[in-house]
Chain A
Amino acid sequence: MIRYLRLYGYFLQFSFSKAFEFRIDFYFRILMDVVYYIMNLLFFKVIFLHSKYLAGWSESQVMIFVGAFIVVDALNMTVFANNSWNVAQLVNRGDLDYYLVRPVSTFFFVSLRDFAANSFVNLIMAVSILVWAFMKYPEPIGLLRTLLFGLLVLNGSLLYFLVLMLFIIPVFWTHSARGLQPLFWTTSKFMERPHAIYSRVVRWVLMTIMPFALMASVPASVLFAPNPWAITLGSLLVTVAFMSLVLFIWSLGLRNYSSASS
């Protein structure tokens, strides 16, 4: 475990020095995410000009949801995005060889090697927006619920990455340029709205088979729901199931991998 933490420390050092080499991209990416955050906030601000509630959620509750969604997105952009986007290229070009010969878990190496330092700045902004949304919430939120919320946001971020990987790993067989990533980007739009708006069947699908609701919306609901423990336990179980599934399919993919260069 210590070895993996130390290795991750080196990844961080390398990523920060790399980010500062491409300074303009550093600022562009920060700007892009800021625009994305503003657009999301404005979207719901406009919606709430015409209604006091959206599927039973008040504006302040939805703002916490938006904050959670933004933090999950920022966490992903910071920790996982650069890595997951590269997987298809690694497999198709045979560059995965470099990772396979390392004396550490290939999945760990491939998933966490590149830390997006520029998005880290956005993560700070995203957390600030979430704190602002919390402060604007009219009723007191208990410490326990806040901690569960924090845990579920982190869990949602991991789940987001795992589901994305499920769409990317087929590249071992299809050898397409990006795997099924475009389909993931399309379906992930379900995550951008509170799950309360969906019908019961769709909501069930979004909490189990395609758990986009568990990434931001359900974590936000843990602050207001009558039974936060059931939600927390359910969310964690789904993540464990998805983690097992991804690792299993990843190992199948590795068995199917033939280095392009050899």
Chain B
Amino acid sequence: MTWFNAMFAAEFKRMFSYRVDFWLQFFVSVAVELMVSYFLWEALFASTATPGVVPGHAPEIGGYTFQMMLLYVVFAAFGGRIVRGNERMIIASDIYDGGLTKYLLYPVSYLMVNFSRALAYNSVTIIQMGMGLLLLFAFYGLPPEYNFSFENMLMGTSACLVASAFYFVMYVIIDYIAFWVDTIWSLSVMFRFIAQFLSGLFIPLEMFPPAVRRAVYQTPFPYIGSEPIKMFLGRSSWSQWAHTNLTIILWTIPLFFLMQLVWRRGLKNYTGVGI
């Protein structure tokens, strides 16, 4: 696995090669995301909110108090980044500019090269999440109804990592379409919109009408967003953790075989531009 470590290290180095840009981009994007969400939920809670389930408790929307909704947004921002990974369409670029050719000559799997890159990216994202949460909790504290525990963090992070494998496979399939199509940028952006909306990364799925929510739960998306976030929030048990991960793995296995099929077919179509 030396090559795996080497690829992992190379990706790590690449990410830190423009350090200022890297950290600025991370902090600004998280800050803007949280700010916009904060004002949106503040306005919505100010406009209306049903009284708490228990008399005298804080008002709720979709089962979330304002404080818990903000925490949901925080975990959606960080968890979503772990799940989505680097989304750089590296494979599509390699297909378009002929860069794939050199990997075909290497004695390692091209898929594993990309997987090691994705893992390196996720490792940095987890470090960023730790730092971000530490800063936020230090400055703003924790909502009184939230019990922070490392067990919840472990459940949430591991579920996000499993979900990231599903997302990686989906993204690779879309990238492989580049073997046939001149540009797949719009396709991958479209997938990201749908995945983020249906996984509850924009709005908690509890706010959707019940019939829609039931339909959404027939797809893998809630298990890559809403469910891991609930784990972070301490609203899940270990059995729900197992169910979430099992569901995602069951979705990933057939997609993995589909990905391999698309790869084999695509290679036959590969022209190796620039050779």
Contact = CB atoms under 8 A, between A and B. Distances in A.
22 contacts: A25-B181, A25-B183, A28-B183, A28-B186, A35-B193, A35-B194, A46-B203, A46-B208, A47-B44, A50-B44, A51-B44, A51-B48, A51-B61, A54-B40, A55-B43, A176-B21, A183-B25, A187-B28, A190-B32, A193-B40, A196-B43, A197-B40
Contact of A25 (B21, B28, B40, B182): B182
Given A193-B39, A202-B39, 18 more contacts: A22-B182, A25-B181, A42-B197, A43-B202, A43-B203, A49-B207, A49-B209, A50-B62, A51-B48, A55-B46, A55-B47, A176-B18, A183-B28, A186-B29, A186-B33, A187-B32, A197-B39, A202-B35
Contact of A28 (B36, B190, B197): B190
B187 A186 contact: no
A49 B47 CA distance: 12
A189 B44 contact: no
A54 B190 contact: no
A54 B197 contact: no
Q: Which 9 A-B pairs have the closest CB atoms?
A: A32-B186, A197-B43, A55-B43, A51-B48, A28-B186, A32-B190, A186-B29, A29-B186, A51-B47
Nearest to A198: B39
B197 A43 contact: yes
Interface of A: 22, 24-25, 28-29, 31-32, 35-36, 39, 42-43, 46-47, 49-55, 176, 182-183, 186-187, 189-190, 192-193, 196-199, 202
Interface of B: 18, 21, 24-25, 28-29, 32-33, 35-36, 39-40, 42-44, 46-49, 61-62, 181-184, 186-187, 189-190, 193-194, 197, 202-203, 207-209
Contacts, number: 98
Nearest to A190: B36
A28 B43 contact: no
A182 B28 CA distance: 10
Nearest to A33: B186
B202 to A, nearest CB: 6
B50 to A, nearest CB: 8
Contacts of B44: 47, 50-51, 54
B207 A189 contact: no
Contacts of B207: 46-47, 49-50
B36 A192 contact: yes
A176 to B, nearest CB: 7
A182 B25 contact: yes
Contacts of B187: 28, 32
A50 B197 contact: no
Contacts of A52: 47-48
